[in-house]
Amino acid sequence: MAPSATSPEKVDREDLTSRVLPEMVFSTGKADSMTAPPKPALAHLSPAERAQLRFAVSGNAIVTGGAGTLGFEAGKALLEHGLSGLMIFDVNPSQAQPKIDALQAEFLAAKIKALKVDITDDAAVSHAVETTVQQLGSIDILLCFAGVVGCTHALEMSPAQFRRTLDINTTGTFLCAQAVAKSMVSAKIPGRIIFTASISGHMVNYPQPQAAYNVSKAAVLSLKNCLASEWARYGIRVNSISPGYMDTILNEGEGIEKCKTNWKERNPSGRLGEPSELTGAVVLLASNAGTYINGTDIIVDGGQIIHS
């Protein structure tokens, strides 16, 4: 039976022919825009001072999953390069309180705080971002390290498992980016947003099956491109880092030794990466050195992806 003139199907089809699509707006790049060229380094500075200024990090940052190994290492690196304030979002920050206290003792001039946040809860994320602004004064940088990994054969994966992985890794990343970008735009602050993608978003892992994880990280790469395009006019640069197999607790235990051997054998560098080896890319994208880097993904994997 054909749909009647008042049926939802008919109305929706007619709406399609009369809709007006929203359009992106790019920056002009002029001196009064949010994407103006950086001012040249002061001539009176010494070469060493100019070099230090090149990789200086200013303002305050949120690091999601910041109590984990990779996120914590990244936050510490930003503090080493001049970050004024650090807010750690984590599902269980109290577990990492001793090392957070130690970090504060090392960087006495910085404000270092932590909040318990479920990044899949949009209301909780928005509230946490507002709290961060109240406590630190502004948000200039967002690092998204919160995520989950799962290895399950696709034939055996439940819909709930698939949805949970995408909800945390992809939707959670978007919710945090959106809430922080709204704050940046409202305050007219140029910002830096850095996602954690993965070589798993570029290739199919071997030998472990992890379709949901790979899809979630490929989506993060696409999301990075979309937001980099839409938000550039506000002075917000959106980039990502794609780590390879890193030597963290996620890759420990006798049960995965066979996989680790395989990963190492297929890597020209012959080993897993150290968490500290991600920090160079983080600092580059968050510092003065990265002012013309937007929509880029930096692969940090020792060459693993070459022989995927």
182 occurs within a structural domain: yes
108 contact partners, CB below 8 Å, separation of at least 6: none
Q: Is the pLDDT of residue 184 over 60?
A: yes
181 occurs within a structural domain: yes
Give the residue carrying structure tokens 């001039």: 109
Domains identified in the chain, total number? 1
2 occurs within a structural domain: no
- Taking only the tens place, the pLDDT of each residue in 278-291 is 999 999 999 999 99
62 occurs within a structural domain: yes
Q: Is 231 helix (H, G, I), strand (E, B) or coil?
A: helix
* Per-residue pLDDT, 1: 44
40 occurs within a structural domain: no
Domain that holds residue 187: 53-307
155 contact partners, CB below 8 Å, separation of at least 6: none
Confirm if 148 and 122 have CB atoms less than 8 A apart.
Answer: no
Q: Is 34 helix (H, G, I), strand (E, B) or coil?
A: coil
* Per-residue pLDDT, 190: 96
Q: Is the pLDDT of residue 308 over 80?
A: no
Catalytic residues: 198, 213, 217
Give dist(CA 141, CA 116) in Å, integer: 19
- Taking only the tens place, the pLDDT of each residue in 242-278 is 999 998 866 666 778 888 999 999 999 999 999 999 9
* Per-residue pLDDT, 180: 98
* Per-residue pLDDT, 248: 81
Confirm if 277 and 222 have CB atoms less than 8 A apart.
Answer: no
DSSP readout, 127-154? HHHHHHHHHHS---EEEE-------B-G
* Per-residue pLDDT, 97: 94
Which CATH number goes with the domain that contains 80? 3.40.50.720
9 occurs within a structural domain: no
289 occurs within a structural domain: yes
48 occurs within a structural domain: no
| Buried b or exposed e, range 113-124, using 16+ CB within 10 angstroms | bbbebbbbebeb
Q: What are phi and psi of 70, to 5 degrees?
A: -70, -45
Single-letter amino acid, residue 162: F
